Amino acid sequence: MKQKPRVAVFDFADCEGCELEIADLEEEVLDLIEIVDIVSFREVMKEHSDTYDIAIVEGSIMRPMDEKRLRNIRSRSKILIALGACATIGGINKIRNQWMPDEVKKEVYGTADLKGNELFDVFQTKALNEVVPVDYYIHGCPIDRDEFKSVITAIALGKKPDIPRYPVCVECKKNENICQFELGNFCLGPITRAGCKAICPTHNSPCEGCRGLIKKADTECVKEVLERYKLSYEDIRRRCTMYNYGRKECSYDE
Amino acid sequence: MKQLVKTITKKDFSTFVNTLIKDGSYDVVGVQAKGKRYVFDTVSSAQELRLDYDVTILPPKKYFLPQYEMLLKFSLQKPFEGKETITDVPRIIIGVHPYDIIALEQTDRHYLDQQQDSFYKKRRENTIIIGVDIQNVSERSFAASMKTNTTESGFDLLLTDIGNCYAVTIGSEKGDKLLKKYATVKDASSTDLNKIKTARNAVLKKYKQKIKIEKKDWSPLLVANYDHAIWEEHADVCMECSSCTMVCPTCFCYDVKDEVSLNLKQGNRTRTWDGCMLKDFTKVGSGEVFRDEVKERYRHRFFRKGNYLPERYGFVACVGCGRCGSACLPDIADPCNLINELAHFTSEDDTGRYFIKEENEVLEKGIIHVPRSATIKKITPFNELDSLFEIELDDKKPLGHKPGQFVEVSVFGYGEAPFGISTPPGNTPLFEIMVRQVGNVTKKLCSLQPGDKIGIRGPLGNGFNVKSFEGKTLLFTSGGTGMVPMRSLINHVLDPKERNKFKDVIILYGAKRPKEITFMDDVDRWKKIPDVQCEITVDRCEPSECWGGCTGLITTLFPKIQADKLDSKNTIAVVIGPPVMYKFVIKCLQTLGVPDDNIYVSLERRMKCGVAKCGHCQINGIYVCKEGPVFNYGTLKQLPEAF
């Protein structure tokens, strides 16, 4: 009988919420472990193995020691999956990239002496693909459990997962939501990747772009909408810093 | 037939609705408030109804072509099992405005005329439509100037608020029966009938938008302005969000996906709304996108409403509901504004130039979504990417195809993909296709073994009209994988039973590299046939590849044809190959003196449903899966999106 793929789950700078989503599959965890062997998943079990085929990684890369650890994981795995916004696009962790690491450390730790301590040796936050090649991306903050299942089954079947490359508006309209703009809110939905079933607008909260922008914020169409709704570029720039700070390119293929 | 009109007091109407709800045999749906907007939703009491609404966020199309609809369930454990999953909930929809009623009738033409969609049909049959005359008008609606603000047909019952009661126009037997069973009504008097007219007229002044031209002038106006700067100007600010198509009552394109459960034991095939405004709408397995630029997609939507569908069905496919105008953030989607802006120009140009009318035999009605079971008999690899598959239908019936047609092959859990049929028509249940590994379905297919089962839908497409080739010289030019469908035609023509119907046969074949040549066996056999000229070339080859033949592009084979001996006016030329090849080969043919009307091509697009419903394969106004994939170059060349 063909051996089940061995899966290991790791995290870096994150809240572990995306990993928790995997645990929150509840009864479906039984289905999951029928098709894969989870050999390492610190958040839910103490067993660990250094031999695995698929690595699922949550969190951003902050320090040289993180880079080293990630490269090690990459070298041991055939497939690397970035789990959640911190891993796929840097997410909230990139907010601090607006300032130099030293400024940030001073703000947080004050006058504490952190020299030579590798735990605090941070550089500008990096998403996983800024350090190693990533095979698949599961976007969102947190991830969508259905999308997680879809990606895992695709990998198990040997097919490329089908991640939307169109904006949240498609799913929002299918849900028959009243457009956030009509309610006077600025929503990042039109320039954000879909796949979350527009969960935030459906629950009356404008989209924050956690799945990654698929259109740059400084395009003509965005400027047009800003003008029409009497919003400033400052507004959108600030909204985008939550999850999408410093993304020079909006990669379609992620 | 004079329509019967009754009246019902508002109180009795509430009772009528509550009785229907209590009866429990219908899903009673009606217009309700959602915040400041309105939606169709299941009502639990007549009090929830807001029949004075202006427009709903989504049109009632969601009840006939749902946002997400399961087409079939399959098992990955049993060799082949796919069950159609039609739900047939009897439903009553209360409060449909005339423009939405008209939009449904338009959608009927597309989904029920030919190759009937059984899901849509069932839902239409199971639904009773209780329309309501418009009382309030949304900001962007221009239904009055589109003459879609009232309708004489398409409803089972139609309500008009005439003050103290509703007038109820009976539109069908179903409606009549419903009233008789559940409602207390009176006959309408002539005063009541006049009140209906007054009520309808009173609303007219509420329209804020008015379209400046008549519906019959949309087509010539658009044709005159195919290359107008406005498309690019507006597309510059388009968000490519496809909100316009999602909320549109006359849009009905969809995508189909296979989803598998986490335990990998079973799954389902689901269709969901898709939008031609999205970037990947026309993307095929090899990665090519056939309508890439935003301005092309933006223009396509208006042409579809105002030129392509009118040419096909005779109606303008916009009902002036105003939903797209409200939904579009940069405000470029509103057809009223766009048409009014263009309204200064018109033309005498042929409005049918972006459409090809085919004299099609009436295509099979019936199950079009569920594949038939078939078995892979043999797999012969040509090279590391391409393999020849021999397939047999499990019911042992012949496929019944014409050369040039294609099949949609299903691998449950992975999806469905179109393949040209490579064998000539015959009485055998066996047929061949060639599979090139480019995506999920093809990669999985190439990992299967003889004996494994797959699903087949087809034959699809128009195929070659071989009868019209009789008595002519035939010149076949294939580039690369173009030889796959071409082989079906060539072997049919060269069949001893058919051969003497045609004159000389010339076969030209060009591949990129020697290892990409498919069907070398056939080529060798054709070369040996006396009155057949067969020439083959490769674009280039390495010294290490043993290739003793010609090198050079396919156009370098044309000088090998004895032009002075060729009766070019009575030659039929068939060209199939990669998009880039057509322009050059057609030039060679024209130099030889072959008339454009004697040239046939086969084109590739993203074929998903294969039955002219999902919309992905469109080239201007035609569906490649229906008016094609075989086209006459003489008529095709006027379609700007063809090459």
What pLDDT digit, counting tens, does each position of B49-75 carry? 999 999 999 999 999 999 999 999 999
The Cα of A71 is separated from the nearest Cα of chain B by a number of Å equal to 29
Q: Which of B68, B237, B257 sits opposite A220 (nearest CB)?
A: B237
Do strands B82-84 and B91-96 pair parallel, antiparallel, or not at all (unpaired)? unpaired
The Cα of A18 is separated from the nearest Cα of chain B by a number of Å equal to 18
On whether the CB atoms of residues B267 and B261 are closer than 8 A, the answer is: yes
pLDDT of residue B407: 96
* Record: contact B246-A159, CB cut-off 8 A: no
The interface predicted TM-score (ipTM) is 0.92
DSSP character string of B260-271: E-TTSSEEEEEE
Contact residues of A toward B, CB < 8 A: 25, 28, 31-32, 34-35, 149-150, 152-153, 156-160, 162, 165-167, 169-170, 173-179, 181-183, 189-191, 215, 220-225, 228-229
Q: Higher model confidence: residue B632 or residue A246?
A: B632
The per-type count for chain A, helices as H runs and strands as E runs, is 10, 5
User: Looking at the predicted structure, is the pLDDT value of residue B150 above 90?
Assistant: yes
Q: Which of A153, A160, A169 sits opposite B241 (nearest CB)?
A: A169
Question: How far apart (Å, rounded) are the C-alpha atoms in residues B632 and A106?
Answer: 74
* Record: contact B246-A170, CB cut-off 8 A: yes
* Record: contact B280-A228, CB cut-off 8 A: no
| CA nearest to A89, candidates A119, A66, A58, A121 | A58
pLDDT of residue B65: 95
| CA nearest to A148, candidates A54, A84, A103, A210 | A84
Dihedral (Cα; B141, B144, B150, B152), 10-degree rounding: -130
pLDDT of residue A20: 96
Which pLDDT tens digit goes with each residue over A91-109?
Answer: 999 999 999 999 999 999 9
CB A198: neighbour CB atoms within 10 A? Answer: 24
* Record: contact A170-B331, CB cut-off 8 A: no
Question: How far apart (Å, rounded) are the C-alpha atoms in residues B535 and B548?
Answer: 13
Question: How far apart (Å, rounded) are the C-alpha atoms in residues B139 and B147?
Answer: 17
For residue B494, what are its two tokens?
């060269």
* Record: contact B57-A176, CB cut-off 8 A: yes
| CA nearest to B254, candidates B356, B360, B111, B371 | B111
Which pLDDT tens digit goes with each residue over B248-306?
Answer: 999 999 999 999 999 999 999 999 999 999 999 999 888 889 999 999 999 999 999 99
Which pLDDT tens digit goes with each residue over B516-537?
Answer: 888 999 999 999 998 899 999 9
In one letter, which amino acid is B120?
A: Y
Model confidence band, residue A252 (pLDDT cutoffs 50, 70, 90): very low
pTM higher than 0.90, yes or no? Answer: yes
Question: How far apart (Å, rounded) are the C-alpha atoms in residues B430 and B132?
Answer: 55
Which pLDDT tens digit goes with each residue over B364-415?
Answer: 666 788 899 999 999 999 988 999 999 999 999 999 999 999 999 999 999 9
pLDDT of residue B355: 87
Which pLDDT tens digit goes with each residue over B317-346?
Answer: 999 999 999 999 999 999 999 999 998 766
Which of A65-69, A168-172, A180-184 has the weakest average pLDDT? A180-184
Question: How far apart (Å, rounded) are the C-alpha atoms in residues B86 and B122?
Answer: 8
pLDDT of residue B1: 47
pLDDT of residue A253: 47
Question: How far apart (Å, rounded) are the C-alpha atoms in residues B415 and B564?
Answer: 50
pLDDT of residue B99: 98
Identify the residue among B39, B53, B237 best suited for mutation to test binding to A, counting A beta carbons within 10 A and taking the highest: B237
